[in-house]
Each structure stands twice: as C-alpha cells, then as structure tokens.
Amino acid sequence: MLTLTDRGHARLCNGLKRRDFLQVGTLGAAGLSLAGYTAAKAQGAVRRGHDERACIMIFNLGAPSQLDTWDIHGSKPFTSIEGMKNIVAPLYDRAYSALIEDLSVRGLLDSTLVCNLQEFGRTPRINPAGGRDHWPQCYSVYFAGGGVQGGRVVGKSDPIGSVPVERPVEPADVVATIYHSLGFNLETDLPGAAGRPFPLVDFGHREISELF
C-alpha cells in the first residue's frame, strides 16, 4: 500500500498476504474495514492541515506456488478451472462486493475509485492441460465509484472472447479514465529527462466517457 501526501512522504506497507485479504471478505484487518481505514486516514489528514490522497493496490500474485491463484493453466502447480470456479472466484466475489457495499454505506464510494485491472485475459479455448493460458488480445476491466455510473457496459467482444468487435479500449484509455476520476488535467505535462516534458497520458487517448 503506497500513501502519497502533498508533503512528499511515501510509505510502503507490506506483510499481509493475498489470502488474508480474500478471507476477511471486507478486505479489513484488525476489525477495521478498508472504507473505515480510509475514512480515519482522511479525518487525520484534515486535522493535520494537509491534503492526503491514498492509492491502495491489492495484487493477486501469479507465480508459484500457484495454489488458489488466478493462474489457471490447468495442471499443478497451477490452478484448475474447477479451482477457479469453486475457490478463487467466490472468495473474490465476496470480498469485492463487500468492499463496494461498505464504501457506499459509509458515504465514501463517490470519492473512491475502485478499479479491477489485469494485464491480460485468458485464452478463448481450453489448453491440453484443461486450463486457459495468457491472452492479451481481449479482456475486461471494471470500475466502481469515483464518479463512474453503475450498470454500464462499454465495448463488446466476439462470441468466444478472442478479440474486441465493438468500442475497443486501450490501456492508455484506462489510465486516462483513472486520472480523470481523480481530477487530474489530462493535458498536463510531466518533467522528463534533460528537462524535456512528456504527457501525463499518451497523445490521442482520453477517459472512457461513457462511464461518466
């Protein structure tokens, strides 16, 4: 978890395992939910007289040992499709839905963007081991809160999920969407090497406007 403040501080907190977050269900630790934690942090920031923005990243590991992970190549030590269906996905569903509900009840969802992202999808066809391999050509991401309107679907794949056939979105568009939700000006230039500026978002890419 990386916390950035306007004073330039950065803290990296490790120690909790992926399974700890999933099994808690509400993504809480020591009786404090994620929504409660962010609320307490925000209140503390106000009392200290400075603005604080937190980015909390939960990364589901995909390297051996692969027990109960997302890497469903089929054969051991990787997860099977059955393991994904009966173990991994239900744990995630409970944790994610509890997080969204908790943020909503506490009035924090509108000011918190929850992103579900990955670097690739899974092959449309089952491999010989009875699993699905890496497939960067087509996959889905989804957002909640942060100004995003619920219940919207943007884009469409072919029937087997192999390629986009309608409103394809690129990674730079996803990044632009996150920055837009956080209130950043997408036309901002950042300082680069030798004083040469570079854009916050790649040229020609904008937020996914249909979400807002």
Q: How far apart are CA 43 and CA 33, in angstroms?
A: 15
- Where does 121-180 show beta strands of DSSP type E? 121-122, 134-135, 142-145, 156-157, 164-166
Omega of the bond leading into 77 within 30 degrees of 0 (cis): yes
Q: What is the pLDDT of residues 152-200, one digit of tens each?
A: 999 999 999 999 999 999 999 999 999 999 899 999 998 888 888 989 9
* CB 56, CB 11: distance < 8 Å: no
Q: What is the pLDDT of residues 98-120, one digit of tens each?
A: 989 999 998 999 999 999 888 89
Burial 65-80 (b: 16+ CB within 10 A, else e): ebeebbbbbbeeebbb
Average pLDDT, the chain: 78
Residue 143 reports pLDDT greater than 90: yes
Residue 82 reports pLDDT greater than 60: yes
Q: How far apart are CA 148 and CA 111, in angstroms?
A: 10
CA 40-144-133 angle, 5° bins:
115
* Tokens linked to 74: 């089929």
Torsion angle of alpha carbons 141, 143, 148, 154, nearest 10°? Answer: 20
Mean pLDDT on 76-93: 86
Q: What is the pLDDT of residue 208?
A: 95
Q: Please give the residue that has the higher pLDDT: either 102 or 58.
A: 102
* Tokens linked to 122: 């899974």
DSSP SS3 for 57: coil
Residue 2 reports pLDDT greater than 50: no
* CB 196, CB 133: distance < 8 Å: no
Q: What is the pLDDT of residue 4?
A: 40
Residue 121 reports pLDDT greater than 80: yes
Distance spanning both ends of the chain, measured CA to CA? 27
Q: Please give the residue that has the higher pLDDT: either 131 or 45.
A: 131
Predicted TM-score of the model (pTM): 0.69
